[in-house]
Structure 1
C-alpha cells in the first residue's frame, strides 16, 4: 500500500511539473481560450509642446473603445489600451515599446503619435517579427511607415504627408501662387513634408523658393523673427508649414507682426484646433489679426458636417465621454470636438472592427489576414476604408480647411485664394 502511495505522489509531481512548463493562455497575446481582454500599447506625447495632441487623440479613441466594451465587445472580447507618455521624444518611445512587447506582451501596438518617435521603433517591429508584432494606425503620414523594409509591419488609416502636401501645392498653383516657401521641423516629420512639397512642385515645373527649419520641441514662446525675414527675402506667394501647433502658431504670430499677410498652410499634424486657440488668444491680447488667410489640410472630414453619420456618431459619443483617463494632468480642459480626437475616434472603430472579425480565434498572426478582409468598409464619413493584399493604408482622402466662424471649416472655393 505504501509503495502505491509513493507511485501516486511521484506521478502527481510529474504532472504538476509538466503543467507548469506548458505555456499559459494570455489575454494579452490573444491565444485561443475563454473570451477576455485584448491589450494594446500606445506611446504618445501626453506632456510637453505637443502634449495636447496626444491627449485629444487618446480621448477620441477611448470614447469609442469604452462604447465598444460597454456593449459586450466582440463575442466577449474587450479592448484595453495601455497609454505611455514619450513626450514626443524617440528614446522614451523606444523604451515604452520594448516594455509593451517584452513585459506587457501586448496584442499589438496601436495609435502611436508622431513621425520621429514612431520611425525610431520601426526596427523593433522587424526584430520581433517572429512574434507577429504589428503597429496599427499611427498618427503620422510619413513614408517610412508605408514603404519597405518596415511597411509590412504597419497598418495606417490616414492619408500620407505626400498626399497632403501634393493637394496643397496643386491647389495653390491653380490659383496662381507659384512661389512657395517652406517652414519645417528639422526631423523625420518635417523633412518628409518638405520633400512632399518639393516633389509636388517639381511635377509642375516649379521649385521651393526658400526654406527655413527649426528644432523639434519648439514652444509658442520661441521667436521666429529671423526665419520669417529669411523666407520673405525670396518674395513667396504662400508658405507651407510642416510643424506642430506651438511652432506653427509662433511662426504665424511673428510673420503677421512683421506685416506679412501671405497665406500660410499647414498639415493635419499641426493640430489646427489648438493652433487656432493660441492665435485667437494672441489676437485678444494684441488687437492684431492672426487668424486670417490660414489653410490646413486634414485627413478626416469636418466634425461640423452633420450630414455625415460618422460625424453624428462621433459627436454623440464624445459628448458622453468626459474623461481624460490617465494621460492628462489636473486642470486640463478637454475639447468638445477636434480634428485630432475625430481621427482617434475612427482609429478606435477600426480597432474594434479588427477584433470583431477575429473574435472566434484572436491571435496576433491573424492580423494580416483580418486586415486584408477589410474592403469598402463604411465609416459614415463619405469615403470607404479599404485595405487588402498589398494595401496597408486604409484611406487616401485629404480635406482642405480655413478659419471661418472661429473654427477651421471646409474650403468651398479655392478661387478666393487667387493671387
Structure 2
C-alpha cells in the first residue's frame, strides 16, 4: 500500500515528466519550480522537418540536463506551439506566450517570415515583454535596431553565409552567379545578402528566379530553371526550404543545368538530400553531385569536437520523439545539422539559465550578456555582451559524399575551378 506522501510524490514526478514538452494545447500548464521556454515553429507543413528536428536536438540536451538535476534542481521544459511556418499563427502563438506567466522567454523560433512578424511584440504586448533566444533564422531585422536588444542569436547571419559562398565562387573564376529564392522576407533577406556580397566585388546577379513559400517537392520548378538557364550562370545561389530547393535541383539536372548549386543553412540539408536520393532511385539518376550547402554549425561527423560526441551520444540515448502535434507519420532523423543546432541552442541556454538562477534580480538579459568566450564544445567560442547579441560568426561548407553531407575540402572546391 502506498502512503499519502509517496502517492503525492509519484503524482508530482508524473507531472514533471509530462511537462517536458507541451503538445500545443491552448491552456498554459504550470510545472513545479522549473524554467519553461516558449517555442513557436513549423511542426506541420512543407517545412515541418525544421521545427521537429530543432526541437528534438534541444530536447536531447534538456533531457540529459534534467536527469542530472536541471538548473540547480529546477527542470527545463519547452512549451511548443505549431505555426506551420506561417506568420499569422506565429503571431497568435507569441501573444499567447506573452499573456501567460509562462514561459520565461521565447526560444527556437523557426523562420524569417515568422520571426520578423513577431518582433514588434517583443517590445511589449499588454505590458509584457519577453526576450527571444536563438531563432532559426539568419535574417537581419532581429540583428538590427530597434529589435536587436530583444533577440539573442546563436547562428551566423545569411549575409555571412552568402558572402562566404560568393567569395568562394569568385575565387574559382565563377563570376556569373544567379539567385533562386523564396518570395518572402526570408528569400529577400538572402537575396539582399547575395547582392551585397556580389556588389562588394563589382558584380551583380546574372539572373533571378523565385517561388512561393510552401512549395512542395512534387511541384515543378521548370519555369524557374528556364529563367536561370537563359542567364547562363556559372553557379546558382539558392535561398529556400528543403522541398522547393530539392525540386529546383531535380528539374535543373533533368533540363541540363549542371553548374554548382549552393544552398544556405536554413534549407535542412538531410531532408533535402533524402528527397533527392528518393527521386534519383525512382528515375535512375544522381541528383546529389555539384551541390554545396553552407552551415552555421560544425559537421556532426566531426568527432574531434566534444560537442559532436556529446550530441550523438545523447541523441542515441534519449532519441526524442517528434511531438504529438507534428505531421502524421513524420520519421525523425538520427542526426542532422538542424538538430545539432538545436542541441547547441539548448547548451547555450542552459549556461544562461545557470547564471540567471544564481542572480535572478539582475534579469535574464544581464545573464545572457555576461557570457563571454564560453566553450560549448565546438571550434569557436560563444560570445555575448551588452552591445553584442550575436553568439557565433563562423560559416562552414559541406558537400555530399557517400550519401551524406560532409565537410567540403579544398580539393573539391578546386574541382570547380574555371
List gaps (5 residues or longer) in structure 2: 1-30
Displacement, 1:326? 3.2
Deviation of 1:94 (Å): 0.3
Q: 120, 137, 141: which is aligned to 1:140?
A: 137
**Alignment-derived partner of residue 338 in structure 1:** 336
Measured in 1, the distance between the counterparts of 2:329 and 2:47 equals: 17
TM superposition shift of 1:329: 4.5
Q: Is the 8 A contact 1:243 1:269 kept in 2?
A: yes
Q: 1:379 aligns with which of 376, 381, 384?
A: 376
1:417 matched to which residue of 2? 416
In the alignment, the residues of structure 2 paired with residue 259 and residue 105 of structure 1 have an alpha-carbon distance, to the nearest angstrom, of: 53
Residue 197 of structure 2 aligns with which residue? Answer: 200
Write out per-residue CA displacement over residues 324-352 of structure 1, whole angstroms, 9 at most, x where no aligned residue: 23343453221110000000000111111
> Deviations for 1:123-181, whole angstroms, at most 9, x for unmatched residues?
00012496441001100000001001111100000000000000000000000110000
TM-score (norm 1): 0.90
Partner secondary structure for residue 183 of structure 1: strand
CA contact (8 A) 1:35 1:76 kept: no
* Distance in 2 (alpha carbons) for counterparts of 1:359 and 1:308: 28
1:191-248 C-alpha deviation (Å, 9 max, x unpaired): 0000100100000011110001111111101111011011111111000000000000
Equivalent pairs counted in the alignment come to 385
TM alignment of 1:230-249, pairs within 5 A: 230-249=227-246
Residue equivalent to 1:24: none
Match of 1:408 in 2: 405
Q: Which residue of 2 aligns with 1:109?
A: 106
How is 1:195-234 mapped onto 2 (pairs within 5 angstroms)? 195-234=192-231
Q: State the superposition RMSD in angstroms.
A: 1.5
SS of the counterpart of 1:41?
A: strand
Distance 2:70 2:102 in 1: 21
Q: Whole-Å Cα distance in 2 between the matches of residues 191 and 52 of structure 1?
A: 22
Question: Which one of 293, 305, 308 corresponds to residue 302 of structure 2?
Answer: 305
Q: Does 1:279 align with 2:276?
A: yes
Larger Rg: 1
Q: Distance in 2 between matches of 1:411 and 1:223?
A: 29
Checking the alignment, whether the CA contact within 8 Å between 2:156 and 2:392 is kept in structure 1 is: yes
Residue 12 of structure 2 aligns with which residue?
none
Structure 1: 5+ residue stretches without partners? 1-33
* Equivalence for 2:35: 38
Mapping for residues 120-269 of structure 1, pairs under 5 Å = 120-128=117-125, 131-269=128-266
Partner of 1:352: 350
Shift of 1:361: 4.0
Q: CA deviation at 1:105?
A: 3.3
Contact 1:355 1:362 in 2 (8 A): no
TM-score (norm 2): 0.90
Matching residue of 2:324: 326
3-state SS in 2 of match to 1:109: strand
* C-alpha contact (below 8 Å) 1:45/1:85 kept by paired residues: yes
